[in-house]
Structure 1
Amino acid sequence: MSGPITLNVGGKLYTTSLKTLTRYPESMLGLMFNGALPTSKDQQGNYFIDRDGKIFRHILNFLRTSHLDLPVGFQELELLNREADFFQIKPLLEALQTVKSPITEIKKNVMLNIIHDSRLHNVGTYTVKIVNVQVFSTSFALLKHLDSKFYYVFNGDNLSAGTNLGDQKFISLEWVESNGTRMERHYVMQNWKSLYVSPSHLQIKNLAMFVQQIIKIAVDGGFLLHSIPSVSSDPVILHFSQY
Structure 2
Amino acid sequence: MLNWKNPEHVQDPVSLNVGGEVYTTTVDTLTRCRDSMLGAMFTGQMSLLKDERGNFFIDRDGKVFRYILNFLRSGSLDLPDDFKEMSLLKREADFFQVRPLLEEIQRYEAGPRGAGWRSAVLSADVECQVQTLHFNLKRSPENYELRSCAVRVFTANVFCTSCTFVQLLCGHFVYCAHDQAVTPQPAEQRPNYLQLEWAPRPEELPQDLYEKHGFQELMLTQPRTTAEALIADTSAFMEEMLKMALAEGFRVDSVFPDASDILNCRSLRFVRY
Task: Give TM-score, length-normalised by structure 2.
Answer: 0.49
CA pair 217-198 structure 1, distance change in 2 beyond 3 A: farther
Residue 149 of structure 2 is aligned to residue 126 of structure 1? yes
Contact 1:133 1:174 (8 Å CA) reproduced: yes
Contact 1:165 1:171 (8 Å CA) reproduced: no
Moved more, 72-81 or 198-207: 72-81
> In 2, Cα distance between the equivalents of 1:127 and 1:210?
20
Gaps of 5+ in 2: 1-36, 47-56, 65-83, 102-113, 135-147, 256-261
Matched to 2:120, the amino acid is V
CA pair 181-85 structure 1, distance change in 2 beyond 3 A: farther
> In 1, Cα distance between the equivalents of 2:185 and 2:45?
59
> In 2, Cα distance between the equivalents of 1:67 and 1:167?
50
* Residue of 216, 226, 230 corresponding to 2:251: 226
Residue 97 of structure 2 is aligned to residue 85 of structure 1? yes
Cα shift at 1:179: 1.9
Residue in 1 that maps onto 2:268:
236
CA pair 194-131 structure 1, distance change in 2 beyond 3 A: same
Q: Tell me the alpha carbon deviations over residues 118-158 of structure 1, each in whole angstroms, 9 at most, x when there is no partner.
A: 22111233211111111111221111111122111113332
Match runs of 1:177-192 below 5 Å: 177-180=200-203, 182-192=205-215
Matched to 2:149, the amino acid is Y
Match runs of 1:27-176 below 5 Å: 66-69=58-61, 75-85=87-97, 108-124=118-134, 125-163=148-186, 168-176=191-199
Runs of 4+ with deviation above 4 angstroms: 23-27, 70-75, 164-167, 231-234
> In 2, Cα distance between the equivalents of 1:25 and 1:157?
58
Moved more, 229-238 or 135-144: 229-238
> In 1, Cα distance between the equivalents of 2:123 and 2:97?
42
Contact 1:195 1:204 (8 Å CA) reproduced: yes
Matched to 2:243, the amino acid is K
Residue in 2 that maps onto 1:6:
none
Q: Tell me the alpha carbon deviations over residues 162-194 of structure 1, each in whole angstroms, 9 at most, x when there is no partner.
A: 337575211111001332274423322211111
Residue in 1 that maps onto 2:237:
210
Report SS of the residue matched to 1:113. strand
Report SS of the residue matched to 1:76. helix
CA pair 79-164 structure 1, distance change in 2 beyond 3 A: farther
> In 2, Cα distance between the equivalents of 1:157 and 1:182?
19
CA pair 83-165 structure 1, distance change in 2 beyond 3 A: farther
Q: Tell me the alpha carbon deviations over residues 2-58 of structure 1, each in whole angstroms, 9 at most, x when there is no partner.
A: xxxxxxxxxxxxxxxxxxxxx99947xx989xxxxxxxxxxxxxxxxxxxxxxxxxx
Report SS of the residue matched to 1:147. helix
Gaps of 5+ in 1: 1-22, 33-64, 94-103
CA pair 85-120 structure 1, distance change in 2 beyond 3 A: same
Contact 2:133 2:151 (8 Å CA) reproduced: yes
Moved more, 127-136 or 70-79: 70-79
Cα shift at 1:238: 2.8
Contact 1:111 1:238 (8 Å CA) reproduced: yes
Report SS of the residue matched to 2:249. strand
CA pair 216-180 structure 1, distance change in 2 beyond 3 A: farther
Task: Give TM-score, length-normalised by structure 1.
Answer: 0.55
CA pair 163-187 structure 1, distance change in 2 beyond 3 A: farther
Cα shift at 1:237: 1.3
> In 2, Cα distance between the equivalents of 1:77 and 1:165?
38
